[in-house]
Copies of this chain bind each other. A is one copy, B any other.
Amino acid sequence: MKAVLLCSGLARRMNGQVKPLIKVGGREILYRSMKLLERHGVNQFVVVVNRKNRERIEKFLKESGFKFDIILNEAPERGNGYSLYLAKNRISGRFILAMGDHIFGEKFVEKAVKGSGIVCDRNPKYIDLSEATKVKVNAGRVADIGKQLDDFDCFDTGFFILDESIFDAAEELVKEREVVELSDVVKRARLGVHFVDGELWMDVDTPEDVRRAEDALFREAGKGKGDGFVSRHLNRKISTRISRVLAGKVNPNQATLLSFLSGIASSALLFFSIPVAGVLYQISSILDGIDGEIARVTMKASRMGGVIDSVLDRIVDFLFLSILAVLTLSAKVEFFTAFLAVFGSLMVSYISERYRGEYLEGFYSRFSVLVPGKRDERIFIVMLFCLIQTHVSIFYLFLLLAILTNLRAAEMIFKLLESEAYVSSPNLS
């Protein structure tokens, strides 16, 4: 599938910068859109530029490695409807049209590409409503569109799923008048409306917009599907703020190393001070989120990065718990409990990976598990016990971990068995 990206707008407010090339979260706005579109099947880009930004955008595109066609709009003052019209001969069939100076979030694009027509938002969260283009919908189609509408239902996101028939409307208008805005074309074609509400999309007009877009990207990146309670309510709130500061200075691999080393250091600290070690262990758990957040925001996520990160997590957990056990326990039954705790911790991860390898979907995308015992939760509990270890024996930490993690593992297996029993008895459904 092809995508047309309109980059021929005359940026007046960003002191002559080329807006599609402004970096947000360490990546050019244009790169972000192209990369996201590529994930959803777009393999060729038609980029409409103006005389002023042509050279810089062409240079960027050549370095980016995407397959592209450049179209020069010699008369950008004729409006972006005219820019779209210029792409006419490069397009056949279904295609995507997007504003080159808009930031779109991962989830926005994921939902948007499933529809057709103009993508509209009934609940926009990131834009200045007074500047936005409003859309009045009637029977699922655009009834009216413009910045000054008083009666409207939603906002134009600058993202469209179209087919070549749109060029008929564009051509009519181009013949009728000098300035043709995209909204004119949309109205003339009476485009269908596809709603994507409350997700990240915004145009970037001011340096303040860049900051707001980055805030939003880091917030989105900090929502891990497998996050436990502590991660959601504590770790991610801190880690996304740190990621925000480190992005651009530190790459994901360096962040992985940082969190690994702090985990190893916390294990070593056990020999000197158990409470301090516990706190550092919890800090390393917070830092553990940073690599993934930076990777997602800067679009550098890699499969190997994910694998290495989880293997290092297992090593840190093992070292901390086994050193803590050796330092604090003595009776054989205590050691057996510690074995059980280490085993259960590993099994919680093992089962979800084993499931994913077999069923090709995340365990937590399909099942919700009640018993706590995810890594962030375990580490928080470990820290608490380390802080009160002069009052409560560490043995009870291992007992609690052994119970929680193995109960959680059992719940996971039970959920799986239950779901399969259902699948294999379709007559009962």
Contact = CB atoms under 8 A, between A and B. Distances in A.
Interface of A: 302-304, 306-308, 310-311, 314, 318, 322-323, 325-326, 332-333, 335-336, 338-340, 342-343, 346-347, 349-351, 353-360, 409, 413, 416-417, 420
Given A306-B358, A308-B417, A325-B339, 10 more contacts: A308-B416, A310-B354, A311-B351, A318-B343, A322-B343, A323-B336, A326-B332, A326-B339, A353-B354, A357-B357
A342 B350 CA distance: 14
A102 to B, nearest CB: 30
Contacts of A326: 332-333, 335-336, 339
A339 B322 contact: yes
A340 B338 CA distance: 13
Nearest to A347: B314
A23 to B, nearest CB: 22
A340 B353 contact: no
Contact of A347 (B311, B336, B340, B357): B311
Nearest to A302: B420
Contacts of A303: 358-359
A312 to B, nearest CB: 9
A340 B306 CA distance: 23
A307 B342 contact: no
Nearest to A306: B358
A358 B318 contact: no
Question: For A307, A310, A355, A409, which residue has the most chain B Cβ atoms within 10 angstroms?
Answer: A307
Contacts of A351: 307, 311
Contacts of A420: 302, 304
B346 A350 contact: yes
19 contacts: A302-B420, A304-B358, A304-B417, A304-B420, A306-B358, A307-B355, A308-B413, A308-B417, A311-B351, A314-B347, A314-B350, A322-B336, A322-B339, A322-B340, A322-B343, A323-B336, A326-B332, A326-B339, A342-B342
Nearest to A327: B332
Nearest to A322: B339
Contacts of A409: 311
A311 B343 contact: no
Q: Which of A304, A306, A357 counts the most chain B CB atoms within 10 A?
A: A357
Q: Which 7 A-B pairs have the closest CB atoms?
A: A356-B357, A322-B339, A353-B353, A357-B357, A304-B420, A303-B358, A318-B343
Contacts of A307: 351, 354-355, 358, 416
B336 A339 contact: no
Contacts of A413: 308, 311
